[in-house]
Structure 1
Amino acid sequence: MGNPLKLPLLLNRKYRKPLVDNRTLRYESTRRRILQILWNGIGFGFAVVWMIPFIWVVRTAFLPKESTIGTGWSWGLTFDNLIHVWQAAPFGQFFMNTLLVCSGVLVVQLVTMTMAAYAFARVEFAGKDFLFMLFLVQIMVPPDVLIFSNYQVLNEMGLLDTKLGIMLPYFASSFGVFLLRQSFKQLPKELDEAARVEGASRLHILSRIYVPLSRPIYVSFAIVSVSFHWNDFLWPLIVTNSEDNRLLTVGLAMFAKATESGAQWSDVCAATLIVSAPLMIGFLLFQRQVIGSFMNSGIKG
């Protein structure tokens, strides 16, 4: 029979390690919770800072003109600024031009990048890797560098001050080709072989297999493309000269620089809200689809 005095020592040795492990787990859990709260607070702070200019623009757009130049706080709201701005400049024409340019560019980009991405991913031809490297080089070149050369080409073609002239340099997207090619390469080649056994052509395989399985990539690219061309300013400003072909961003700049509205912050903010409202409303309506498309469109391998 063992010494009874050793029993507490044995129990202490037996349960000391679990107690230490529990304390370590609680400490790590508390530390992670504190870090999570800290990072959430930092993110919320940045969000508040980002929202301050937007809140000021929205508030000023609905304030009466006499309240925008005062120092006090006013609770009065009016829609007169939006009505005045819409009637003072042809924003309806600018809106239709922007919608036509964004949708036209997107449709052509989806077709061209689908064909090019499938060729780079599944079709074997001489110089494929070198040609794809040229596409990657185009991603590294800022679009503003090509403004002069694109302007000269459009001038020789007689497409200046036309909607087609605004769209033409963006009909092919190297970024879209790269993004879609990576998605196509992730799909197993057995799908092609099974479809070819059934007698399907390449176009049939592309439209019935590759395109539906890469839907998140198409949605993500569509969001990026529409946002970029909706907010594009420099290229439409250089190419267009008439109100019939101006886009919203150019129309907003011309309206803000006008002598009769330069000091009217309520009119400028109302015009800014008109330009930015469609994108914000679209994001709020399709927020879940937008976030899901970006989460499901990660590039692998």
Structure 2
Amino acid sequence: MTWERAIHALRKGHCAGRPGTEDFLLRDGSFSLFSRGVILPGHGAGVKVASIFPPNARRETPLPTEDAIFLVVDEEGKSISYILDGPEITRWKTAADSALASEMLSAIDSKTLLVAGAGPIALALAHAHVHARPSIERILLWNRTLQKLDAVAQALTSLGRPIDVITDMNEAVSQADIISAATGSVSPIIRGRFLKPGAHVDLVGGYRPDMREADDDVIARSDVYVDFRDTALDAGDISQAIANGSLLQDDIKGDLFDMVRAAPERSSRATVFKNAGGAHLDLLIGLAAARASDRSDRIDRTA
């Protein structure tokens, strides 16, 4: 996989019809078994199956808190064609989702990227945003626990840009042309009064209604876009803003299906993109990865 292949797969996939989705959730104490199915016209179908057990993080030898697979169902024969690693597909699809939006919403000459968070998704977002905007000259990193950023900063040296770990989030926001946040915050960490005019804010965390990364002022100062209306309306940054009146549902300028069909007009206002995800994204990335693997296998067998 490459970022170019991943972004292209999402762009092409959003030219087709909208997906149909359905979720399934079973709970037993702190254990959750979660499944999300999707049918995407013209591309096939897929099912994500995830086993989620937060106590794994507290073991003497910690284990992953989530394990997942993604099943790809072929469009033609309706057979199960691929079984793919769930977390890896999530990493690629989440960052490519944000990068595709950045190609359409962020300033072409963006120079400074601020990434909030220290997990694998934050690392992927930095790579994807730099791919989408090669004009980026500097990367700022922020996380509540600074020590967790050491590995992230080291991993990002391959991008060939200066990496600065910062402690003052407000100061970093005032410098950034693109802000990408992938945190578990339940209260805003990005405040609108520090936002540069024309900045692009990419909100990836805040997937639950009680979670939030940007305050009402960020929403009020920005043109708001989402990746998929069906999932974004349940995410805290959107649902809380609608609930308190700082955002009307009709004020959402569009989702990726709208944006790919008709490119948004850029203005001097800041832009917000809510990356809330969806199983159709997993399907599109899964298909792109599987097809790339098939091509590689054929090349290897021929060599």
Higher strand share: 2
Give me the TM-score of the superposition, normalised by structure 2.
Answer: 0.23
Larger radius of gyration: 1
Of structures 1 and 2, the one with the larger relative CO (CA 8 A, separation 6+) is 1
Higher helix share: 1
